[in-house]
Structure 1
């Protein structure tokens, strides 16, 4: 049942993430994403056949203990950026940052929804209460989902944002070799995310970042 809350929130959050990359790239001189029709909330151009549909479906239906999905990366041409080395880092960072902002928006909407709809009530089984609790659950789940997206995309494994940040720091030839990892990076990513120490560290970081969001909710409710 939780996936019914997660999937629409995840789809929206991933789209915001990708649009943020393209929007900032455009502001910094690169119109590639705009020209490719990627600055849109229409989900179709952002869907990746394997990362958005096939892999998530396999993980859900096999009862996997972890969930992994991604959208089609927004095309960015660093050569068009005014300061390619610096701006490529900024364009990469803005994606995870946008997810933290969406998480903040979810926290605020969760609080507003509690004031308007009332707190969740498991004893009330009316259709209206069920619908209200669904809205509350979607907003609250949006917080850890977006924190997870931010952390996940900061991993320095191609083609994630963290790899672009690292590639911009590495010396020229090493940076070029690193960027060419390509599809193999996805296979590495699947293996890495199944490692218990990585999952423990990821969960700890996610829990730590949840603290200020929960603190904000407690203050406002």
Structure 2
């Protein structure tokens, strides 16, 4: 049976995920604007309003299934995954198209890593206030821990060097133009390859579990690093 506090856990997880996804997309839009491309602003997507960035599958369905599944089985959230509707960027309007696209792509994960560090810093306040108001501070502590987790998962996942993920666009910016443009054409198939590897292969191939491996190794080590950089003993 799930813990009686499942509703508070759900609220903390949803809020942490929404903030991580919204600011990730907003960072892309503001970076593009700063580099000469106003497409996101013209489309009304240069916004901190989460509703402007909602993707019905990536922002609602997939995270919802993951969150409810974990709450109903283990009573807590240990993994979150999702995506938003991409902010439109026209690389032809950037002052330096390939390098500009690389910087725009890097802005999203950079925002997530900053937010993870900021949540780590705010944990100090939660710890200090715990004795004064245990219930509210316990929720704040859990929200901040989930914020670190959500931002690390979103930021690191997006650094995979597969278009249309940010890592693919960063790699394209480092490649010669003759290689970068054909590589970017993989964008229409890239997300299908990622979803196949993450969700389908573990069910088809026994022992193949990249998400579990990432949680045990990459995300766990990154979480410890964030705590270290924000002044917590690990």
Aligned-pair CA distance for 1:211? 2.3
Secondary structure in 1 aligned to 2:224? Answer: helix
Aligned-pair CA distance for 1:181? 3.5
Distance 1:209 1:167, change over 3 A: same
Distance 2:182 2:100 in 1: 20
Could you tell me which residue of structure 2 aligns to residue 30 of structure 1? Answer: 37
Q: Is the contact between residue 98 and residue 172 of structure 2 (CA under 8 Å) also seen in structure 1?
A: no
Distance 1:207 1:67 in 2: 14
Aligned-CA RMSD value:
2.5
Q: C-alpha deviations, 1:94-122, integer Å up to 9, x for none?
A: 1101101001111111112222x2269xx
Aligned-pair CA distance for 1:90? 0.8
Unpaired runs of at least 5, structure 2: 1-5, 203-207
Could you tell me which residue of structure 1 aligns to residue 84 of structure 2? Answer: 71
- State yes or no: 1:155 paired with 2:168: no
- State yes or no: 1:18 paired with 2:30: no
After TM superposition, list the pairs within 5 Å mapping 1:1-221 onto structure 2.
1=6, 2-61=9-68, 67-115=80-128, 117-118=129-130, 129-172=134-177, 174-194=179-199, 195=202, 196=208, 198-203=210-215, 204-215=217-228, 216-218=230-232
Distance 2:131 2:98 in 1: 48
Unpaired runs of at least 5, structure 1: 121-127
Distance 1:55 1:82 in 2: 36
Distance 2:179 2:197 in 1: 22
Q: C-alpha deviations, 1:115-151, integer Å up to 9, x for none?
A: 2x2269xxxxxxx532321111101221122111110
Distance 1:62 1:105, change over 3 A: closer
Q: Is the contact between residue 55 and residue 85 of structure 2 (CA under 8 Å) also seen in structure 1?
A: yes
Aligned-pair CA distance for 1:67? 4.1
Distance 1:190 1:67 in 2: 14
Q: Tell me the TM-score normalized by structure 1.
A: 0.83
Q: C-alpha deviations, 1:76-101, integer Å up to 9, x for none?
A: 11111111121111111111011010
Q: Number of aligned residue pairs: give it.
A: 211
